[in-house]
Amino acid sequence: MLIVRRAEGRDIPAILDLLIQVNMVHHNGRPDLFKGPTTKYTRAELEQILQNDDTPVFVCVDEADRVLGHGFCVLQHFGGQLMEEVDTLYIDDICVDEAARGHRVGEAIYRHIIQCARSLGCHNVTLNVWTCNPGAMKFYEKLGMTPYKIGMEQIL
């Protein structure tokens, strides 16, 4: 049985391990941009993030409360003269432990994030996915996401 809940301080060691895994996916795909094994947050930064309601982090755990994956989100507000005023729940990161892939952990996290966004009155849920991670692109498309803008580059 999978349970998705808000991450707590006791989850930080497992989250740090997952952050290394997701970093390595990006490093392996774009070593020109992503450094080797590291995390984008320190333990202290994670403690702050977990306490902030505008940056909810969710973990998917098994019946033994082992963290199998995480989802980092950021509540954003857009609008102004050119754009409608909307709240968006941006998915900064979803990672499923390598040993738990293929067991619907990522889908459980994603569905929970969608429910959270609805409860917050968000207009949409957005994320960025690197083209060097085609598995993630297929995963998000399978869940119903569609591209809404595309970033492009020319390496010099």
Give the pairing of strands 124-127 and 57-61.
Answer: unpaired
Taking alpha carbons only, the member of 106, 147, 142, 124 closest to residue 22 is 106
User: How do strand 86-96 and strand 124-127 relate by DSSP bridges?
Assistant: parallel
Confidence band of 77 (pLDDT split at 50, 70, 90) = very high
Token pair listed for 153: 């580059």
Residue 79 Rama label (left phi>0; alpha psi -120 to 50; beta): left
Confidence of residue 7 (pLDDT cuts 50, 70, 90): very high
Mean pLDDT of the chain: 96
- Residue 22's pLDDT band, with cuts at 50, 70 and 90, is very high
Q: For 3-142, which CATH class?
A: alpha beta
**Contacts with 105 (C-beta within 8 Å, 6 or more apart), sequence order:** 2, 60, 68, 69, 96, 97
pTM greater than 0.85 (yes/no) = yes
Rounded to whole angstroms, how far apart are CA atoms 110 and 98?
17
Residue located via tokens 């005023």? 85
- The angle subtended at Cα 39 by Cα 94 and Cα 53, nearest 5°, is 55
Predicted confidence (pLDDT) per residue in 92-142, tens digit: 999 999 999 999 999 999 999 999 999 999 999 999 999 999 999 999 999
Predicted confidence at residue 125, as pLDDT, reads 97
**What does the pLDDT look like over 52-72, one tens digit per residue?**
999 999 999 999 999 999 999
Query: What confidence category does residue 155 fall into, taking pLDDT thresholds of 50, 70 and 90?
Result: confident
Residues 6+ apart with CB under 8 A from 75: 53, 54, 55, 56, 87, 88, 89, 90, 120, 122
